[in-house]
Amino acid sequence: MKNPKLKFRKMSLQENIELIKWAYYENDDLFNIHNFTIKYFPELENLDKKLSKEEINQIIENVVRESYEKYQNEIEKEIQRYNAIWQPYNDLYFKMLSNYLNISWPNNIDIVEGRIGLIPVFPRYLDSFSFSVSINMSDQQLIETCAHETLHFLWFEKWKTIYPETPRAEFESPYIVWQYSEMVTDPILNNKPFSTIFDFQEKGYASFYEMYDGKTLIMDKLRKIYSENTTIEEKIKNGFNYVTKVLKK
């Protein structure tokens, strides 16, 4: 069984600009991505409402370019630091994850890529097995993010074997398939075998912990399902059936 290596690289200037443009215009209430972007780049707050989109884009490009050039050395240093922090976990975790989900990593995936830039949110890209992070993360934040994002990659490989009819679009927000994939990181990573190698407390989106099925927290029910002595296939199916039933009420 071959496991990939997670390696970090610097986001290009253009990649960084395009991500911030997307984040600036994103108005999804669940994530508050636009607000996070404004906090990260305060220069983008209170732009003149008379400005055209082209003018706003030019301002974004200028702001990101200035910061990108200013923090070149920091980004380069973080590449080395992040690789050093994650590598002791890489082989053990990826093997453990493969065993837990009962599926091998794809043969064509040798490298899982972590891209480092100046960004307020950390998107993941399922099709390329890559995700983005920012600088100045603590060791624990980085390890949690790496475990969380790479779990998604193998999770959806497993998902396709159980639910091959699922449209690709449903792997992303706001579909229930996507919501479920974000919920299960808690009951999976906070329990054995993963709790034996990680020292963080995995948390999903805050809104998930405010969802009730009557008087029962949905997340508590999911934790119970994933703690049962059943196969991973049964856990995935039982959890999905439950979440679908509750969220469609």
Expressed in angstroms, the distance from the first to the final Cα of the chain is: 42
Choose one of 91, 122, 157: the last residue of a domain: 157
How much is the pLDDT for 29?
A: 60
How much is the pLDDT for 131?
A: 98
State the 10-residue block means of pLDDT for the chain, 249 residues long. Answer: 93 97 82 88 90 95 97 97 98 98 96 97 96 97 97 98 98 94 97 95 91 93 97 98 91
Q: For residue 214, give the DSSP letter.
A: T
- How many domains does the chain contain in total? 2
In a shared domain, residues 118 and 199: no
Q: How far is CA 4 from the centre of its chain?
A: 18
Q: Residue 214: exposed, middle, or buried by beta-carbon count in 10 A (0-12, 13-18, 19+)?
A: exposed
In a shared domain, residues 21 and 82: yes
In a shared domain, residues 94 and 118: yes
In a shared domain, residues 27 and 78: yes
Q: Residue 150: exposed, middle, or buried by beta-carbon count in 10 A (0-12, 13-18, 19+)?
A: buried
In a shared domain, residues 152 and 224: no
The answer to whether residues 110 and 23 touch, using CB atoms and an 8 Å cutoff, is no
In a shared domain, residues 24 and 139: yes
In a shared domain, residues 171 and 68: no
How much is the pLDDT for 248?
A: 84
In a shared domain, residues 114 and 226: no
Rounded-to-integer distance, Cα 79 and Cα 34, Å = 26
In a shared domain, residues 98 and 18: yes
How much is the pLDDT for 249?
A: 73
Specify the 3-state DSSP secondary structure of 193: coil
Q: What domain range is 200 assigned to?
A: 163-247
**How does strand 130-134 pair with strand 111-117?**
parallel
How much is the pLDDT for 30?
A: 62
Cis peptide before 167 (omega within 30 of 0): no
How much is the pLDDT for 133?
A: 98
In a shared domain, residues 33 and 51: yes
